Structure 1
Amino acid sequence: MRTRTRLLAPLLLSTACATAPAPTPTQGEAMAVTATRVSPPERPFGTLREQAQRQQAWLNERMEKALPQLMRQYGIEMWVVPMREYNEDPVFTALSAPTTYAARRRTIYVFHDRGPEKGVERLALGGGSQGGVFTPRRAQRQVDGGGVSREAELWGPEQWLVLKQVLEERNPKVIGINVSRTFAFADGLTHGEYEGMAEALGPDWVKRFKPSGGLPVDLIAWRGPDEVRFYEDLTKLVWNIIEQAFSNNVITPGVTRTSDVEWWMRQRLADLGLDTWFHPSVDLQRQGVTEAQLGEDPVIQRGDVLHCDYGITALRLNTDTQHMGYVLREGETDVPEGIKAALKVSNRLQDIVFEELRPGRTGNEVLRVSRERMKAEGIDGTIYSHPIGLHGHGAGAMVGLWDRQEGVPGNGDHKVMPNMWYSIELQATSPVSEWNGQRVRSAQEEDITIDAEGKVHWAWKRQTAFHVVR
């Protein structure tokens, strides 16, 4: 590092003073010059260490508050979650510390509900304690044939024998395992792991296995109050980037292509040290031109209606946002009223879903009632909202799919719960008088949070006016 600093400093000096060559600076001078020339990194959510401390607090809260309640709700006395390195169960990120990126060799998490007074015991058979969340338990292995034993890293068949010891000591009547034909989030137990566990434990224990049902789904979906506070800041950043993307800072009408805007949005995240869970998309609608005529990567022109779909990943949490923009024509000072009206219609559909998204209802019930109200108000729209959080298309009750407006069997039959988040995603299509009645699709997506009392809140706010490129 010192060598690199000394090499960089003369370059910086020669750039600043293009006359005589600068003398070789001392180490202290080089560091001072570098500090004045290099901008500090942008860290919208603090250092990585600060982020990890916050995430660890979220994990502790999830284990202490959500886990016991959900295990009792689903009738799971003991929950066993085995997985192998790089083939982790979907629930892994809801159970692991921010400094853990993968399971260790084979990791078996065991949760034993000992009742309201003693609480849920948490064991890790393999892997670490995840910041004190689990009590690690190791296998005993003979060393050098001398009769001396010590704890060994769990890996092979002996790991299942440690699990068998845990079961024999606690004698649970019901053992929950993550197998499901309905929920991907509850189907993390691989076939190979099941076979190895069943063979080692024997038929008497296998008889006590029970699908864990909604337990992993709802544990992944559960969010605490500080996560909500963070999510508001994350959503503000989403808005900030979209506002820049749909402005003259990024778009030059007649020059900029939709892909240019997409890559700018993607690069902006990389520059901030953040990531996304999908590549951004930008598309447009134009008066008198069909989608096919526009082609795959059109140049943005004046008079175009813009649309983007954008998500940010930070501290393992995800956003999902769709906004609308407009490029002013020469002589225009505002968005045409007919196009504004199209946005108002999709805003109204947002209102309806927002009002109907209530804990205790299934996703299919929310969809059915919302669509009935939509049709009664004469809105031509589609509703395809989804949970969000540790995954972009998150765990929980699905409220429609764009091609399944009659409801989604299985996933849509799950119930909305307090302390979870949704992306209200939908579209409304309206005729625009300024475009000779041509129909304009206003597709919007905005994230919401549901608090412990079941009240719905916008994560920050929702779009009610177009982003404008002048």
Structure 2
Amino acid sequence: MKTPRLRLLAPLFLLTSACATTASAPAVSPAPSPTRPFGTLREQAERQQAWLRERLDKALPTLMRQYGIEMWVVPMREYNEDPVFPALVSPTTFAARRRTIYVFHDRGPDKGVERLALGGGTQGGVYESRRSARQVDGGGVTRQAELWGPDQWQVLKAVLEERQPKVIGIDVSRTFAFADGLTHGEYEGMAEALGPAWMSRMKPAEGLPVDVLAWRGADESRFYADLTKLAWDVIGTAFSHQVITPGQTRTGDVVWWMRQRLNDLGLDTWFHPSVSVQRRGKTEAELGESPIIERGDVLHCDFGITALRLNTDTQHMGYVLREGETEVPAGLRAALARSNRLQDIVVGELRPGRTGNDILRSSRERMLAEGLDGTVYSHPIGLHGHGAGPMIGLWDRQEGVPGNGDHRVMPSQWFSIELQVTSPVPEWDGQKVRSAQEEDVVLDAQGQVRWALDRQTAFHLVR
């Protein structure tokens, strides 16, 4: 029998005691383990800074011209940042400085895109910082002051008057949350300072901030393989005898072990993991919350890691061998193979230029033609877990997602191929088992699709 392809980053994780849950005494917890799987914070920041420069140098000019935006103005205030903020700033910047206005002016292919930061710093040299000149020390000396309040809008007005852009993009959208970062208060302040003539040249940037967030470079994809590998390793250990003792360990114990493992590695997650059980002859309601894991159970997890501002999203299946069993029952293996087949279908339909709704429609047509009882609810991933870009269905919107599903796939983008297929299992007297899987894929600069690391084709085994 083929076993899951697990590549451990470090020696197997040893356990000494358990994580507490409300339903049981502590059962598992990780022992001290190797740290810094991705290097020191300084090394990580240096790598992220290179990603930022590449995004602004390479992707931004192309995207601005694609969307017909001559100047892009992105104002925001401290702790109320635009969703596009993490795609525009250095890894050492955690919030906007008071008020920060990022201005991008496309001067054409020869001169490129000028990048100005009105407030805050240069973000490691990728912006030119502009500040207001005003008297600040009461002694008659005029100095460069930190931009604040109405001063910044006046500096923005001066920038506009110097450059005379005809089309100015701003982040307002009723379709994309990622493109709706300009708050009502900031819009009012800007309109009051600039006046109707300049405001008449502004239009929604729409897809521009979405695609700036979604664009990923080649080295980001190299790192993403390592990050996905770590996600697989954590799941592989969680779904093993090192964490699970059949008849004792609850699903909640495994969830908290996964959370604690990330914390011990100095990492985080963008959502609380989940672990669930399917059992012969039992419904989900009968199993209750955080059931004890028994032999013969089918396990499922949903797990994500956040590192260097990037996120993974992985769903894997596990099986707890019964006494005397050496492999997973054939009916369960067939169920997993069917969800693998649906993965093949969706990945085969995922191509640049297509909308999420197009991909969903054609995937479902092929799925139904092959007799698969499934659901497709895939999504972009990257700087956000449920990332910027086209949705490929929602679990409760299999007819398509208006607006968000009409956006188009582009090269240099990542997706989580999230789906499920439900199959009757002969060994379980025809009871249906839901094989839900999620694996991340990378589209390279040429639009070719590959798994970020691999995809699960065999159950994790608890012996």
Category of TM-score, reference length = shorter chain? over 0.9
The residue that corresponds to 1:151 in the other structure is 144
Rounded Cα–Cα distance in structure 1 between residues aligned with 2:129 and 2:396: 46
Residues 198-247 of structure 1: CA deviation (Å, up to 9, x unaligned) = 00000000000110010000000000000000000001111100000000
Tell me what 1:72 maps to: 65
Q: Deviations over 1:311-331 (max 9, x none)?
A: 000000000000000001111
Write out aligned runs for 1:363-374 (5 A). Answer: 363-374=356-367
Alignment-derived partner of residue 218 in structure 1:
211
Alignment correspondent of 1:93:
86
Could you tell me which runs of 5 or more consecutive residues in structure 2 were left unpaired when the two chains were aligned: 1-30
2:320 counterpart residue number: 327
Note if 1:262 corresponds to 2:277: no
The one of 157, 163, 168 aligned to 2:156: 163
Partner of 1:356: 349
CA shift for structure 1 position 146: 5.0
Q: Is the 8 A contact 2:33 2:264 kept in 1?
A: no
Q: What TM-score, normalized by structure 1, do the two folds share?
A: 0.91
The match for 1:464 among 418, 436, 457 is: 457
Structure 1 letter corresponding to 2:135: Q
Q: How far did residue 43 of structure 1 move?
A: 1.1
Mapped pair 1:208 → 2:201: yes
**In 2, Cα distance between the equivalents of 1:451 and 1:279?**
30
Alignment of 1:280-359 (within 5 A): 280-359=273-352
SS where residue 423 of structure 1 aligns?
A: strand
8 Å CA contact retained: 2:317, 2:459: yes
Q: Does the residue aligned with 1:350 lie in a helix, a strand or coil?
A: helix
Identity %: 79
How many pairs were matched up? 433
Q: Secondary structure at the match of 2:243?
A: coil
- The answer for the alignment partner of 1:21 in structure 2 is none
Aligned AA (1:395)? A
Q: Secondary structure at the match of 1:124?
A: strand
Inter-partner Cα distance in structure 2 for 1:243 and 1:265 = 11
Q: Which residue of 1 aligns with 2:114?
A: 121
Q: After superposition, what is the alpha-carbon deviation per residue over 1:64-89, rounded to whole angstroms, capped at 9, x for unaligned?
A: 00000000000000000000000000
Q: Which amino acid aligns with 1:369?
A: S
Q: Tell me the secondary structure at the aligned position of residue 233 of structure 1.
A: helix
CA distance in 2 between counterparts of 1:99 and 1:135 reads 17
Whole-Å Cα distance in 2 between the matches of residues 236 and 93 of structure 1? 24
Cα 1:181–1:465 change in 2 (3 A) is: same
Alignment of 1:448-463 (within 5 A): 448-463=441-456
Q: Which structure's CA Rg is the greater one?
A: 1
Kindly provide the amino acid, as one letter, of the partner of residue 359 in structure 2.
V
Measure the CA separation in 2 of the matches of 1:340 and 1:158: 65
Give the 3-state SS of the residue equivalent to 1:162 in structure 2. helix
1:384-423 mapped onto 2 (5 Å cutoff): 384-423=377-416
Please state if 1:178 is matched with 2:174.
no
Q: State the one-letter code of the partner of 1:166.
A: V
C-alpha contact 2:376 2:392 (8 A) present in aligned 1: yes
Deviation, 1:149, is 1.2
- Determine helix, strand or coil for the equivalent of 2:105: strand
State the distance in 2 between where 1:218 and 1:457 align: 20
Counterparts of 1:147 and 1:208 in 2: how far apart (Å)? 39
Rounded to whole Å, the distance in 2 between the matches of 1:41 and 1:297 is 30
CA distance in 1, matches of 2:457, 2:137: 72
Deviation at 1:143, TM superposition (A): 3.7
| C-alpha RMSD of matched pairs (Å) | 1.0
* Greater mean deviation of Cα atoms: 123-132 or 146-155: 146-155
Deviation at 1:252, TM superposition (A): 0.2
| 1:141 aligned onto 2:134 | yes
Higher relative helix content = 1
> Which of 38, 51, 58 lines up with 2:44 in the alignment?
51
Cα gap change, 1:53 to 1:290, in 2 (>3 Å): same
In structure 2, C-alpha distance between the alignment counterparts of 1:75 and 1:227, rounded to whole Å: 27
Q: Specify the SS of the correspondent of 1:429.
A: strand
Q: In structure 2, what is the Cα distance between the partners aligned to 1:349 and 1:91?
A: 33
Task: Specify the code of the residue in structure 2 equivalent to 1:195.
Answer: E
Shift of 1:148: 2.7
Kindly indicate whether residue 434 of structure 2 is the aligned counterpart of residue 444 of structure 1: no
The runs of at least 4 consecutive aligned structure 1 residues that moved more than 2 Å come to 38-41, 143-148
Report the residue type matching 1:269 in the other structure. L
